[in-house]
Amino acid sequence: MIMISVLLVVVAVVTVAAVQGDPCSLGQWSSEGNRWEEYLQAAEEAREVEGCPRVDGCSTCHQATIARDFAPWAGGIAREEVEEAARVARVTRYQVVNHTLYRSDDCMFPFRCVGIEHFLLEVVHRLPDLEMVVNVRDWPQADKRGPKLPIFSFSKVAAQHWDILYPAWAFWAGGPAIGLHPRGLGRWDLMSASITSTASGLPWEARKPQGFFRGSRTSGERDPLVLLSRRCPGIVDAQYTKNQGWKSEKDTLGKPPAEEVSLENHCSYQYLFNYRGVAASFRLKHLFLCRSLVLHVGSDWEEFFYPSLVPWLHYVPVPAEADQQEILGLLHFLQEHEPLARRIAEAGSSLVATHLTLEDVSCYWTALLTQYAALLTFPVTRDPAMHRVLPTKT
């Protein structure tokens, strides 16, 4: 009996040591540096944030973005400021005169202009006369270290750029091209229906309890998650894919590139990671529709609707500098607090599905340009060098 007792004690000690030494043990983070109370408090405080109603068929969730972006021009926008903005390389000028849309000849990415013009033509009958400068590149053009330029861009870091946010062209056309979607992700309404349909057939319990990510290595912020996946593949499935700039396995962190995964198939996982790309990530809005929990990494880059998303209410925030252990500990917390994880997943999905429809995008364009036109301190006269924009089939 003594020999058996001693043997059991030895086995128990060895087992505990093995668990504590396991680099994939989710318990290591909570036992060595528990931040669970911090997470729980943040989630509880987030529940106190009031929702945003719909008024006259339009969501009011995103109106604060307009007010923030126009605040630097509270005294009005002068003709000289618009003309200086137009001198920035490869921007596109638009005018609305007598409810007719006109555009300069140059558009750096024509299909992106098609995506923008779909909405402009849809709302032009409601707009006053105006003239604006639009940037169709990924990177914002009005750095705050330079002059205050009223340039419209789809994405920016609010603390660093003057740019005025508009809904990205990708809601309709000109989205990011990948192997699965060589002409872009496709119309937001059609993609929404497809992802939502897939998600409805996948109850939470049927999804893999793993973190998931697929994407190219456009930012080093993604490396810790990919390395964690290689170290702990049962906990995280994160791999780099090939993009247009891929030259060797060095561009995919020393491993062969993985196959791309459709957005619908992202819904097979309970935890979806989102990272910025060159600028803000186009995929974020799609991930929410899976009704999986979105873990959004970083907080600087944003599109017009990001400020309406509340951390710990609609998604779980992850610091851009988070290392493997912090990500591992966060996943442990979420698995140990599954009701909370599911509640956040449902809240995020509901907000995007309800307040980011194509109708809401049109509403935003209307409010954005109506308020912009009211700030112009000069009369807009038709520029004969611009051509009239007519509807284009996409």
Residue appearing with tokens 């999986």: 292
Kindly report the number of other CB atoms within 10 A of residue 253's CB atom. 16
Tell me 33's DSSP state.
S
The residue among 286, 296, 63, 318 whose CA lies nearest residue 175 is: 286
Q: Which residues pair with 269 in a beta bridge?
A: 208
Q: How far apart are CA 8 and CA 300, in angstroms?
A: 53
Q: How far apart are CA 91 and CA 74, in angstroms?
A: 24
Q: Which residues pair with 59 in a beta bridge?
A: 54
Sheet strands (E) in 216-354? 236-240, 269-274, 293-297, 301-302, 316-318
DSSP three-state, residue 319: coil
Q: Which residues pair with 215 in a beta bridge?
A: 240
DSSP three-state, residue 196: helix
Residue appearing with tokens 């062969």: 256
Q: Is beta strand 92-97 parallel, antiparallel or unpaired with respect to 100-103?
A: antiparallel
Query: Cα 346–220–20 angle (5° rounding)?
Result: 70
CB 304 within 8 A of CB 7: no
CB 377 within 8 A of CB 81: no
Of 22, 69, 105, 138, the catalytic one is 138
**70: amino acid identity, one letter:** F
Q: Is beta strand 164-165 parallel, antiparallel or unpaired with respect to 100-103?
A: unpaired
Tell me 171's DSSP state.
G
Q: How far apart are CA 179 and CA 183, in angstroms?
A: 9
Query: Cα 195–201–203 angle (5° rounding)?
Result: 110
Respond yes or no: is residue 138 known to be catalytic: yes
Catalytic residues: 138
